[in-house]
Amino acid sequence: MKQLMEKIIITESELKERIAALGLQITKDYQDKPLVIVSILKGSFIFTSDLIRQIQLPLTVDFMAVSSYGNATQSTGVVKIIKDLDKSIEGKHILIVEDIIDSGLTLTYLKEILSARGTASIKICTLLDKPAHRKEKVAIDYVGFEVPDEFIVGYGIDYAEQYRNLPYIGILKREVYEK
């Protein structure tokens, strides 16, 4: 698969090291606050599974799926709930775990609908932050890495449902998605 990559920008060991640091920080910040991890499918499933094993606190995990990109590489701004949470989050401390924040539209919308459910607090943890064309200003509490304005895949993040299984984060060659 490496031949489809323009460049590997974050290696497997860099991911591991950074996620351990994020887990430690979250562990410190949520002492005495029962934590609910809200993982945004599908892109953040690998990040979530590695991150929660670095958090030394009691916690629960719930999943939500929203539509954003389809198969295109540009955000449409249309966000739809495809799968909602299983459990009520009223009175809970929520940490939203996302794969990548680009325009910020998805997270702005999600934070609004989740806080309307009467949560005690909501914070955001994203593995990747792509600030180049942010449309909605969104406060991000934990960021793994800032990435350039390129189309990124790997470690859970897809292009047309492919490449989620790459153990690293890379930039796909243009010819792969401009075919």
Cα distances (Å, whole numbers) of residue 147 to 37, 109, 171, 172: 24, 22, 10, 14
Beta bridge partners of 170: 8, 153
Q: Which of residues 34-93 bind ligand IMP (CB under 6 A)?
A: 43, 68-69, 75
Given the residues 50, 99, 102, 129, select the one marked as catalytic: 102
51 binds, among Mg ion, ligand IMP, none (CB under 5 to 8 A by kind): none
Applying CB under 6 A, the span of 26-34, 45-53, 95-103, 112-120 interacting with ligand IMP comes to 95-103
Give the separation between CA 134 and CA 143, rounded to whole angstroms.
Answer: 15
Cβ at position 43, least distance to Mg ion in Å: 4
Applying CB under 5 A, the span of 41-49, 51-59, 118-126, 148-156 interacting with Mg ion comes to 41-49
Buried b (16+ CB within 10 A) or exposed e, 88-106: ebeebbbbbbbbbbbbbbb
Cis bond upstream, residue 83 (ω within 30): no
Which listed residue (15, 35, 43, 159) binds Mg ion by CB under 5 A?
43
Element (H, E) at 5: strand 5-10
102 binds, among Mg ion, ligand IMP, none (CB under 5 to 8 A by kind): ligand IMP
Which listed residue (23, 26, 39, 103) binds ligand IMP by CB under 6 A?
103
Q: Any catalytic annotation for residue 102?
A: yes
Residue 67 near residue 80 (C-beta atoms within 8 A)? yes
Contacts with ligand IMP, 133-172, as mask; x by CB under 6 A: ------------------xxx---x---------------
Applying CB under 5 A, the span of 14-22, 26-34, 81-89, 97-105 interacting with Mg ion comes to 97-105
Element (H, E) at 18: helix 12-29
